[in-house]
Copies of this chain bind each other. A is one copy, B any other.
Amino acid sequence: MTEATGRLRVPTIDDVARLAGVSRATASRALSSEKRPVSAANRERVLAAAEQLGYRINPLARSLTTKTVNLVAVLVNHIHDLSDLDLFDLLLAETQAIGKQVILIRIGSGGKVEEFLRRGVAYHVDAALVFSDFADAGTARRMFHSDRVLMLNGHHDRLSPAVIPDEALGIEAAVADAAGKGVRTAALVTGRTSSLVEQERIGFYHRALARRGIGLGQVIQGDYSYESGRQAGDRLAGAGAPDAVFCTSDAAAMGVLDARRTDFPEGRPARFRLYGFDNISLLDFSAYPISSIGYDKTAYVREMMRFLADPDGFAPDGAPVLVPTRFVARSTG
A105 cross-chain contacts in B, Cβ below 8 A = 96, 101
Q: Measured between alpha carbons, how far is A170 from B124 in the docked complex, in Å? A: 45
Q: Is B285 in contact with A71, judged by CB distance below 8 angstroms? A: no
- Interface core residue of A10, A288, A312 (most chain B CB under 10 Å): A10
What 12 additional pairs, Cβ within 8 angstroms, besides A7-B148, A60-B69? A6-B312, A8-B145, A58-B123, A58-B124, A70-B120, A71-B121, A92-B106, A96-B106, A101-B105, A101-B122, A103-B103, A282-B282
Closest to A106 in B: B92
Complex interface residues of chain A between 248 and 305 (CB less than 8 A to chain B): 254, 258, 282, 285-288
Number of copies of this protein chain within its complex: 2
* Contact bitstring A128-170, B, C-beta under 8 A = 1, else 0: 0000000000000010011110000000000000000000000
Q: Is B69 in contact with A121, judged by CB distance below 8 angstroms? A: yes
Q: Measured between alpha carbons, how far is A122 from B58 in the docked complex, in Å? A: 10
Q: Measured between alpha carbons, how far is A117 from B96 in the docked complex, in Å? A: 10
A61 within 8 A of B: yes
A289 vs chain B, min Cβ distance (A): 11
Closest to A61 in B: B64
Q: Is A99 in contact with B71, judged by CB distance below 8 angstroms? A: no
The 7 closest A-B pairs by CB, nearest first: A8-B145, A287-B287, A79-B89, A92-B106, A56-B118, A60-B60, A7-B146
A147 cross-chain contacts in B, Cβ below 8 A = 6-7
Q: Is B71 in contact with A119, judged by CB distance below 8 angstroms? A: no
Q: Is B60 in contact with A79, judged by CB distance below 8 angstroms? A: no
A319 cross-chain contacts in B, Cβ below 8 A = none
A63 within 8 A of B: yes
A108 within 8 A of B: yes
A148 cross-chain contacts in B, Cβ below 8 A = 7
Q: Given B5, B104, B116, which contacts A102 in the complex, CB threshold below 8 Å?
A: B104
Q: List A residues at the B interface (Cβ < 8 Å).
A: 5-10, 33, 54, 56-61, 63-64, 69-71, 78-80, 85, 88-89, 92-93, 96, 99, 101-106, 108, 116-124, 142, 145-148, 226, 254, 258, 282, 285-288, 312
A92 cross-chain contacts in B, Cβ below 8 A = 79, 104, 106
A10 cross-chain contacts in B, Cβ below 8 A = 124, 145
Closest to A55 in B: B118
Q: Measured between alpha carbons, how far is A147 from B2 in the docked complex, in Å? A: 11
Q: Measured between alpha carbons, how far is A145 from B7 in the docked complex, in Å? A: 7
Q: Is B103 in contact with A71, judged by CB distance below 8 angstroms? A: yes
A33 cross-chain contacts in B, Cβ below 8 A = 119
Q: Measured between alpha carbons, how far is A288 from B258 in the docked complex, in Å? A: 11
Query: 16 A-B Cβ contacts within 8 A?
Result: A7-B148, A10-B145, A56-B117, A58-B124, A59-B120, A59-B123, A59-B124, A71-B103, A71-B121, A96-B120, A99-B120, A101-B120, A103-B104, A226-B285, A258-B287, A287-B287
- A124-B312 contact given A102-B104, A147-B7, A288-B287, CB 8 Å threshold: no
Closest to A71 in B: B121
